[in-house]
Amino acid sequence: MSLELKQVAIGLAHRPLFEPVSLTVAAGKVFSLMGPSGCGKSTLLSFVAGTLGEQFDARGDILLDGQPLQGVPVEKRRVGILFQDPLLFPHMTVLENMMFAAPAGAQAGKKQKAQAALESIGLQQCAGYYPRQLSGGQAARVSLLRTLAAEPCALLLDEPFSKLDRETRAHFRALVFTTIAQRNIPAILVTHDEDDIADRNRVLHLTHQTVHS
């Protein structure tokens, strides 16, 4: 499984946001995207996820395992996203959040899988908690598990470490990178912090497109 972007360009109000991007991420690897605030990093991720707003126009190709993603509905893309803030339903317990994210299937199987996932990172005691009862680091880990429960074929990481304190951040980052390697899925990470870069050979600095008039 690989994720490939070919000459991807996004415009807003007929102005290109950044120089066209081409990159390939192999299974189990993390490609880091950096660049100045507002240059379009999150927008690029939303294009890959299939959630790009109508105010943007985009061109170029996205290929997952060699197959074009454009035209595939969001819910069928199998692309998971982690944001700065954990994405959890406040009215559902941790276990319910995870079961909700799992693909359609037997309810009993879902529960067992969710419990096993929580156990694998030592959070089994949090199964019945509501998101407000979790610490920042616990919420980040549950959010990761929830994203993984959907069994994504690729992962997009939009500054998921930036709000965590230094120690929690290092632990969570290690967990995310190990998980990506174990699941053998490609990932793109947006970050402002050099410390987050998983691999110095896989970094792209997005630059604002110079508009010539």
Could you say which residues in the range 126-145 bind ligand ATP, by CB under 6 A?
A: none
Q: How far is the CB of 19 from ligand ATP (least distance, A)?
A: 13
Residues 8-27 as x/- pattern, contact with ligand ATP by CB under 6 A: ----x----x----------
Figure out which of the listed residues 41, 77, 169, 202 binds ligand ATP, where binding follows CB under 6 A.
41
Kindly state whether residue 161 participates in binding ligand ATP, applying the rule CB under 6 A.
no
Half-sphere exposure of 191 (CA within 13 A, CB side): 22
93 neighbors 111 (Cβ within 8 angstroms): no
| 128 contacts: CB under 8 Å, gap ≥ 6 | 93, 94, 95
Tell me the C-alpha to C-alpha distance, in Å, between residue 212 and each of 56, 60, 75, 208: 20, 21, 38, 12
Q: Which is nearer to ligand ATP, 52 or 92 (CB)?
A: 52
Kindly state whether residue 95 participates in binding ligand ATP, applying the rule CB under 6 A.
no
- Outline where DSSP puts E strands in the chain: 3-12, 15-16, 21-25, 30-34, 56-64, 67-68, 79-82, 154-158, 187-190, 203-205
Kindly state whether residue 160 participates in binding ligand ATP, applying the rule CB under 6 A.
no
56 neighbors 14 (Cβ within 8 angstroms): no
Kindly state whether residue 43 participates in binding ligand ATP, applying the rule CB under 6 A.
yes
Figure out which of the listed residues 14, 15, 54, 55 binds ligand ATP, where binding follows CB under 6 A.
55
How many residues lie near ligand ATP (CB under 6 A)? 12
What residue ranges bind ligand ATP (CB under 6 A)?
12, 17, 35, 37-43, 53, 55
